[in-house]
Amino acid sequence: MLRFLLAILSKTTKLILLDSLLQEIMALMRMAQAWERFVLKDLTTFGKYAKVELTPPGPGEIGQVVRGAGGLVKDALTFKWAQATMKEAAVNTIIVAEIAGWFFIGECIGKGGLVGYQV
């Protein structure tokens, strides 16, 4: 079938098709170079930080967690959160929204659907 099509196409048409094919190949090569330059570099950086940040706390860090929770309770009772700047309040709001989003996504995955539990 391809030989038949190539036989009936003129030489000019064949050159135009070949030129457009080469342009598409060059565009794909440029995209691959951009992928390698930006995405893979960022992926290795992400992997380096993820290895450190996503590990569970070890036995030595449990004391820090308890002290941090105690500090949060003390700050809440003394209304330290009321003296936060607008930037800190915006960052804290985004963090709370992210935690809530992951909680609701986990709930949907756990119950196997978007609406109601299977009884």
pTM exceeding the 0.75 threshold for the entire prediction: no
Average pLDDT over residues 21-41: 85
Question: d(Cα 3, Cα 71) in Å, to the nearest integer?
Answer: 77
Mind listing the pLDDT tens digit for each residue in 36-49? 777 777 888 888 88
The span from the CA of 76 to the CA of 70, in Å, is: 10
Residue 12 pLDDT exceeds 70: yes
Residue 111 predicted with pLDDT over 90: no
Phi/psi of residue 113, each to 5°?
-175, 175
